[in-house]
Structure 1
């Protein structure tokens, strides 16, 4: 016999997240172009959200991660680590997955929720497993293995070397005054 309920409800989004999702739904229903709505918070993309939305988004995503672990993480590779907030890719993916789940559950027919189960959730688990590998064991965060490569990429020397290559490419590309682009194949042959 189990000591937990058969069906635990998905965590309800907090007020500011619900408001943001509702504003976006109303804009979509009105046929407004997304490019004309740059100031609307998009909870599935936390970097676009105002501090008041993010303040409520983070704890909700924590609740969503706990719900996913309780409901779907039979295999350890499907368990979201407690340090998920220290993994930028998990922050991004979890926000999308949570918003997709809210949208799917609000549908009047089960198709969207079935697609969430069939595509979104397994894809999330596969990407998380691929990116974390053996990753972070319980209670112990593993720092970013690719940090040294990112530091190298961002270095002044690497940035200047890329810029020099780009500038060299632009100098070598023939330009025409008509704006029609380069003539011929654009490939110098020996």
Structure 2
């Protein structure tokens, strides 16, 4: 009988993700400005990655989610649901967490990995719990509860009402420092 592994290694990023991270590290080491590197993929921001990188990123993030669940999810609140790709906030958060973990593990001293354990991982779990609540128990994806609020926000009527408020605030005849009705004056009275 073989003994179980005490620790499971963090999933290795696929070639395209590793290449993107290495190119960014080299650019940073070379003192290049991020604004001058718009074409480099940033795997922590999947929406801005090329289709080639994204295709490899999804499988890796799925492996990372499984690794996190097996390694750190002692309580159910810390477990990433299997439907994580259906939650845009988890997609974004998981990509950042995974890239931070790779960077921390590549460091020459333990400080970055300690910070990942102290700040990044607990922050991820806290935000996931805040956003999902008891959201998606195993096998039962819960659709976006705020969908109706977002749909109303996107209506032409709501957009026009916001534009009218913006235009009224910044419209002609509004001088800097002018007190508008209902606003506090510099002395603090209304």
Q: Name the TM-score, length of structure 1 as normaliser.
A: 0.92
Aligned with 2:9: secondary structure?
coil
In the other structure, the counterpart of 2:55 is 55
1:15-38: CA deviations, max 9, x gaps? 000010011001000101111111
- In structure 2, relative to structure 1, the CA distance for the partners of 1:188 and 1:69 (3 Å cut) is closer
Q: Residue 187 of structure 1 aligns with which residue? A: 179
Maintained 8 Å contact 1:173/1:186: no
Q: Retained in 2: the 8 A contact 1:17–1:43?
A: yes
Gapped runs of 5+ residues in structure 1?
176-181
SS at match of 1:11: coil
Distance 1:173 1:46, change over 3 A: farther
**How large is the Cα RMSD of the aligned pairs?**
1.7
Q: Deviations over 1:83-106 (max 9, x none)?
A: 000000000000000000000000
Equivalent-residue separation in structure 2 for 1:4 and 1:151 (angstroms): 50
Summarize the alignment of residues 107-118 of structure 1 with structure 2, pairs less than 5 Å apart.
Answer: 107-118=107-118
The answer to whether structure 1 residue 145 and structure 2 residue 112 are counterparts is no
TM-score (norm 2): 0.92
CA distance in 2, matches of 1:126, 1:89: 13
SS in 1 for 2:41: coil
What is the CA distance between 1:165 and its match in structure 2? 1.1
State the 1:174 CA deviation: 2.8
Q: List runs of 5+ in structure 2 lacking aligned partners.
A: 182-189
Per-residue deviation, residues 113-154 of structure 1 (Å, max 9, x unmatched) = 000001100010010001000010101100000000000001
| Length, aligned pairs only | 182
The CA distance in 2 between the partners of 1:188 and 1:69, in whole Å, is 53
